[in-house]
Amino acid sequence: MPVTDGILVYQQIRQLIERGALQSTPAIAPTQIQPSSLDLRLATRGYRVRSGFLPENVRVADRLEEMTLYAFDLTDGAVLEKGHCYIVPLLERIAEPLPHLIRANPKSSTGRLDLFTRLLADRCGRFETVPPGYTGPLYLEIVPRSFPVRVRTGLSLCQIRFSQGNAALSDDDLRAEHRRAPLLFDDRGTPLPLERLRIDRGLMMGVAIRRDRDIQGPVGYVARRYTGIVDMQHEAGHDADAFFEPVPEPKDARLIVEPEEFYIFASKERIRVPKHLAAEMVAYDVGIGELRTNYAGFFDNGFGGEHGTRAVLEVRPHDVPFLLEDGQVFFKLEFFRTQETPEVVYGDRRLSSHYQGQALKLSKHFR
């Protein structure tokens, strides 16, 4: 029997769509449904706005009337300029009051382009969150931070999850899961012993600054400041060297990252998300420094396969240079129960799972 508390999975999301609780024109495609999340798509029109906003007491459309500098068509594609703020309505809308809390996150490829996105809903006082019972349209705030990007109608930049009740695993639950089947592995695919796990309201993980079995070339990448446009429709269509500079392995396993530069690193450990669980990457603690350690946070059921996969970290320091040390705790994964085991898990050939088995990898747009 399915449990009441937990995150909805593939077949349950499909049922919501089939009964009309989630609607879109054109219809929601099967390829948008992930093991424990749903991809959302850009609609036909975008708005360049003076600033971002939180529509706590108003409809987003009403606020757009006063904040818009100009509107533009997305049907055949449009370029979003670096450093500018845009609001784009999404094709999908919530058509039926649901008992679920809806949370959003950028997709992996969105985060790896340093593309800052946040979901908005009418009269909702929080970004990336839609309360139970909401019906109406959804919007996406988009700010390109490193590169100008070309986007168009139908492109997916973010994804949502539906949760009910208390879905989070406790630290004792995490220890029990690791005893049952390991969650963390070293670079050789060897499970880490339980006593080496760092657990504090989630599973702590470190950043890799040294080469190992998985990481044989650079240990990271830093975005170049002046680049061309990334066309997000073109997978493997861009020369990585034109957009990123490799970060070589430092001699003493320590590296200083510069303020307001955008870096890509890999986690020190490999992570496995069991088929009956989902996970989310969260910043470990603002006390470790003024830096953002991730943009894209959802890890679907089955991520990592049997022997784990590296997590990729999108890092942007703020205010001051910051010293990274190999293995330093940098983020944590919170794990959540799902109401059922999904019919399709991450890495399944029916899904476009681009990052299963990754080591240090840029977004799918680069070759």
Mean pLDDT of the region 270-279: 96
When mean pLDDT is compared across 93-97, 164-168, 277-281, 348-352, the lowest value belongs to 348-352
pTM of the model: 0.94
Res. 1 pLDDT band, cuts 50 70 90: very low
Mean pLDDT of the region 108-128: 95
pLDDT at 357 over 60: no
Q: Which pLDDT score, from 0 to 100, does residue 179 have?
A: 97
Q: Which pLDDT score, from 0 to 100, does residue 297 have?
A: 84
Domain ranges (residues) in the chain: 6-164, 171-337
Average pLDDT over all residues of the chain: 92
pLDDT at 317 over 70: yes
Whole-number Cα distances in Å, 39 to 181, 237, 264, 352: 29, 22, 23, 12
Q: Which pLDDT score, from 0 to 100, does residue 286 have?
A: 52
Give yes or no on whether 6-164 and 171-337 have one common fold: yes
pLDDT digits (tens, 9 = 90+) for 194-237: 999 999 989 999 999 999 998 999 999 999 999 999 999 999 99
pLDDT digits (tens, 9 = 90+) for 324-333: 999 998 888 9
Q: Which pLDDT score, from 0 to 100, does residue 287 have?
A: 54
pLDDT at 35 over 50: yes
Q: Which pLDDT score, from 0 to 100, does residue 296 have?
A: 60
pLDDT at 2 over 50: no
Domain 6-164: give its CATH code: 2.70.40.10
Contacts of residue 213, defined as CB under 8 A and 6 or more positions apart, other chains included, come to 187, 188
Mean pLDDT of the region 43-48: 98
Domain 171-337: give its CATH code: 2.70.40.10
